[in-house]
Amino acid sequence: MRRLLMIALLGVAQPVLSQDYSEESLPDPKQEAQAVALMDTLRCVVCQGQPISGSNADLARDMRRLVRERIAAGESPEAVRAWLVGRYGQWISLKPEFNDMTAPLWAIPLTALAAAGALYARRAKRRGK
């Protein structure tokens, strides 16, 4: 059991014949860049803070493999994101989409910016007076 735990922790997977992309770059650098950019915006479900591109958890590993394989098969990054969101919910995406749930999230910064502008205009002295 203990040895097994060790193996589970180390993530020493048993030999798999096909290429394992859980930790390896894709051969095509363009696709790899797309995959990494996507992985940076997907949240690891077991670690709850980090993106899957920065976690040693098994499930993060599995998701990296899935992302790379799907990108390599020609899927768009947003399609892969949608597939995962369809299973784990919006929680998995670190990139909040714009809808009525998240409108305030985007509106508050804009309001703050507008308020800052108004404050500036109020206190500024007109030239030549």
Ranges within 63-122 binding other proteins (CB under 8 A): 63, 65-66, 84-96, 101-102, 104-105, 108-109, 112-113, 116-117, 119-120
Measured between alpha carbons, how far is residue 19 from residues 27, 32, 45, 77 in Å?
Answer: 11, 15, 24, 21
Q: Closest by alpha carbon to 56, among 8, 106, 115, 107? A: 8
- The reply to whether 15 sits near other proteins by the rule CB under 8 A is yes
User: Pick from 9, 28, 78, 79: which binds other proteins (CB under 8 A)?
Assistant: 9
Q: How far apart are CA 34 and CA 2, in angstroms?
A: 38
- The reply to whether 31 sits near other proteins by the rule CB under 8 A is no
- The reply to whether 128 sits near other proteins by the rule CB under 8 A is no
- The reply to whether 34 sits near other proteins by the rule CB under 8 A is no
